[in-house]
Amino acid sequence: MTNVLCRSRRGPHHELGELERELRRIRSAGFAVIDEERAAGEISIATPLFRAVPMVASIGIAAPATRWRVKGARSTLGPVVTELAHTVSTSTSFRDALNSISGRSSNNNSRGS
């Protein structure tokens, strides 16, 4: 049995170096682009949502591969998704929702009653 690091429509990636290069590109850009790897005919772009430092969720969009190419999605949609994630991450309602889930009060950051 072969050790597969990740899969794409082009086949499984077996080389750790290839995966590490892709992760560096993602970190540098602030978002990931997936070209028909999750679903045929779909280009997806996703970026993390943060609460302080740790990533707590992600936000993404999917576009039909018949209307977008990776380069165009990366240059046009990537910045939009990144800006949206920043807006959501810094919004009071997002922080309040996370605090509610974790049982913390937004006023004193202590456990709720």
Residue-level pLDDT at 10: 57
Q: Report angle CA 34, 25, 64 to the nearest 5 degrees.
A: 20
Per-residue model confidence (pLDDT) at position 92: 85
Q: What pLDDT score was predicted for residue 113?
A: 39
pTM (2 decimals)?
0.68
Give the model's pLDDT for residue 108: 44
CATH among 1.10.10.60, 3.30.450.40, 3.90.1140.10, 3.40.50.720 for 32-102:
3.30.450.40
pLDDT at 5: 55
Tokens 């772009």 correspond to what residue?
45
Domain limits of the chain?
Answer: 32-102
Q: What is the mean pLDDT of each run of 10 residues along the chain (113 residues)?
A: 54 74 89 88 90 80 92 93 90 84 57 39
